[in-house]
Amino acid sequence: MFEPMQFVKNLSYMGSGMLTIIIVMLIIILITMALNKITASKK
């Protein structure tokens, strides 16, 4: 049985989950960029 108010209450959990995923992705991107700068061959 679908209860719309339960869906609305769960939106905060879904939002915090999405925020956490975005933060982890940004950390991985920043680490990758830093490693590329550190290990780049200098000509």
Model pLDDT for residues 1-43, shown as the tens digit of each residue: 889 999 999 999 999 999 999 999 999 999 999 999 999 977 6
Residue 16: its pLDDT value, please?
96
Rg (CA), the chain: 19
Q: What is the pLDDT, as a whole number, of residue 32?
A: 98
Question: For 16, which DSSP code?
Answer: H
State the pLDDT at residue 27.
98
